[in-house]
């Protein structure tokens, strides 16, 4: 059984950032990746996807974007190439094609079983992705058989869907981008809208993410927020990686997308939508206004304000057997897949309980989750600070283990 000091599970940007920080402290480690480096960008992203974060935010420990287009947005293929280059440049010890099938504690640390053999290590870092699986509500099972159901992880382009109307469920980043793309492909699109985060692409002449970065919003720490559970579940921002283009609900309705409320149920083939659409839109407008006030306070003068979201009377039901809808896109979020983790750190919903990525099982760490240590934790730009802090903690744990061994030996 090979031994190492740290096993990192996952060769996405989080695992590679962690590897870079461990190497800088000379901590012997291995990165186990079931596919290739950047597997999720190769296998789980639609064809037209571009990052919604501008290129200058594509920063990792020891890496900064130096291309000719700092204000552009990388395509999924470019992200893959960037991560491949990063893994090569940092000489990350990645073992590809190696699926971790279980991690369990033993007296001396952890036994990590894979389909290529078993590793033993005193420390393990779970970097296996916050968005490993699409979250699809149970009511998807009530959709009539003739309707095609897809998730953003499986969807590639409009040509893959049958002709006819599309119901997109969920109006966060994936939902608004796919509603926009499907509408542009000539399909009638209905968008079911629940709680969402309205965001203009640009404000006061700059990308909104420049302002969020400059105002410290993205750097806000997990131990500074009042309601961390809520903060970790805030939907993604309604943004698309296209210079100057906003895909908020007003943009979509002016283009011809029909809005309905949150999908609340399906009975007898009829979809039922919540009547809360005006309220959730008013709330999103209010929160956007507060954010713009914060930005204005930093800028020192009042800036423009955007028109409130226009909500026309929205139907409360839609007969899915009427032929109006040929496909449903479940843009209802993502979740990690830790079904193979055999260590008692999961809550009743199967989520790892942790304090800023440090679990209650000594030597077991987590990285890459929403608001792990900062608001930006799930973004590429969030990995550097989180990996540095977790590496410090991990190194301290190793020192403590070494001290204990020395005391026992003497």
Ligand X SMILES: Cc1cc2nc3c(=O)[nH]c(=O)nc-3n(C[C@H](O)[C@H](O)[C@H](O)COP(=O)(O)OP(=O)(O)OC[C@H]3O[C@@H](n4cnc5c(N)ncnc54)[C@H](O)[C@@H]3O)c2cc1C
Binding site for ligand X (CB under 6 A): 9-15, 32-35, 39-40, 45, 51-53, 99-100, 127-129, 131-132, 152, 174, 334, 340, 368, 378-381
Q: Which is nearer to ligand X, 5 or 151 (CB)?
A: 151
Nearest-approach distance from CB 194 to ligand X, in angstroms:
18
Nearest-approach distance from CB 180 to ligand X, in angstroms:
14
Nearest-approach distance from CB 319 to ligand X, in angstroms:
31
DSSP class of 237: B
Q: Which is nearer to ligand X, 79 or 292 (CB)?
A: 79
Nearest-approach distance from CB 276 to ligand X, in angstroms:
25
Nearest-approach distance from CB 364 to ligand X, in angstroms:
15
Nearest-approach distance from CB 38 to ligand X, in angstroms:
7
DSSP class of 307: P
Q: Which is nearer to ligand X, 9 or 212 (CB)?
A: 9
| Tally of CB atoms within 10 A around 322 | 10
Q: Which is nearer to ligand X, 52 or 249 (CB)?
A: 52
The number of angstroms, rounded, from the C-alpha of 121 to the middle of its chain's C-alpha atoms is 28
Nearest-approach distance from CB 342 to ligand X, in angstroms:
12
Contact of 29 with 7, CB cutoff 8 Å: yes
Nearest-approach distance from CB 410 to ligand X, in angstroms:
40
Nearest-approach distance from CB 46 to ligand X, in angstroms:
8
Q: Which is nearer to ligand X, 12 or 170 (CB)?
A: 12
3-state secondary structure of 327: strand
Contact of 361 with 345, CB cutoff 8 Å: yes
**Cβ-based neighbours of 263, under 8 Å, separated by 6 or more:** 137, 139, 167, 169, 192, 271, 272, 273, 274
Q: Which is nearer to ligand X, 215 or 316 (CB)?
A: 215
CA distance 353 to 100: 20
DSSP class of 55: G
Q: Which is nearer to ligand X, 277 or 379 (CB)?
A: 379
Q: Which is nearer to ligand X, 109 or 368 (CB)?
A: 368
Nearest-approach distance from CB 232 to ligand X, in angstroms:
14
| CA dist list (Å): 326 to 47, 144, 188, 320 | 21, 10, 10, 8
Nearest-approach distance from CB 289 to ligand X, in angstroms:
24
Q: Which is nearer to ligand X, 78 or 317 (CB)?
A: 78
CA angle 217, 220, 226 (to 5 degrees): 110
Q: Which is nearer to ligand X, 111 or 128 (CB)?
A: 128
Q: Which is nearer to ligand X, 39 or 309 (CB)?
A: 39
């Amino acid at each position: 059984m090979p031994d190492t000091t740290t096993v990192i599970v996952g060769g996405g940007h989080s695992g590679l950032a962690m590897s870079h920080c461990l190497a800088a402290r000379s901590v012997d480690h291995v990165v186990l990746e079931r596919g290739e480096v950047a597997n999720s960008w190769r296998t789980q992203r639609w064809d037209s996807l571009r990052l919604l974060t501008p290129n200058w935010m594509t920063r990792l420990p020891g890496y900064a974007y130096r291309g000719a287009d700092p204000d552009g947005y990388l395509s999924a293929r470019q992200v893959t190439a960037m991560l491949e280059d990063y893994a090569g440049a940092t000489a990350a010890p990645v073992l590809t094609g190696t699926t971790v099938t279980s991690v369990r504690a033993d007296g001396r640390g952890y036994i990590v079983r894979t389909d290529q053999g078993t590793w033993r290590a005193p420390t393990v870092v779970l970097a296996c992705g916050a968005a490993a699986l699409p979250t699809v509500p149970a009511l998807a099972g009530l959709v009539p058989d003739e309707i095609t159901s897809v998730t953003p992880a499986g969807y590639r382009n409009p040509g893959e869907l049958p002709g006819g109307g599309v119901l997109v469920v969920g109006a966060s980043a994936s939902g608004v981008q796919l509603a926009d793309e499907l509408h542009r492909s000539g399909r009638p699109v209905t968008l079911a809208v629940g709680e969402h985060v309205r965001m203009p692409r640009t404000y006061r002449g700059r990308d909104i993410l420049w302002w969020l970065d400059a105002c410290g919003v993205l750097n806000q720490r997990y131990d500074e927020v009042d309601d961390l559970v809520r903060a970790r579940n805030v939907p993604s921002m309604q943004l698309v990686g296209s210079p100057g283009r906003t895909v908020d609900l007003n943009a979509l309705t002016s283009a011809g997308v029909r809005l309905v409320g949150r999908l609340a149920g399906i009975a007898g083939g009829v979809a039922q939508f919540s009547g809360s659409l005006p309220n959730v839109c008013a709330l999103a407008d209010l929160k956007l206004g507060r954010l713009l006030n914060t930005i204005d306070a930093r800028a020192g003068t009042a800036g423009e304000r955007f028109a409130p979201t226009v909500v026309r009377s929205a139907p409360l039901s839609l007969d899915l057997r009427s032929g109006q809808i040929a496909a449903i896109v479940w843009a209802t979020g993502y979740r990690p897949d830790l079904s193979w983790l055999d260590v008692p750190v999961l809550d009743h919903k199967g989520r790892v309980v942790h304090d800023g990525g440090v679990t209650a099982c000594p030597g077991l760490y987590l990285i890459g989750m929403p608001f792990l240590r900062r608001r930006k934790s799930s973004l590429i730009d969030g990995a550097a600070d989180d990996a540095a802090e977790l590496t410090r903690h991990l190194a301290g744990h190793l020192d403590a283990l070494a001290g204990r061994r020395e005391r026992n030996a003497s």
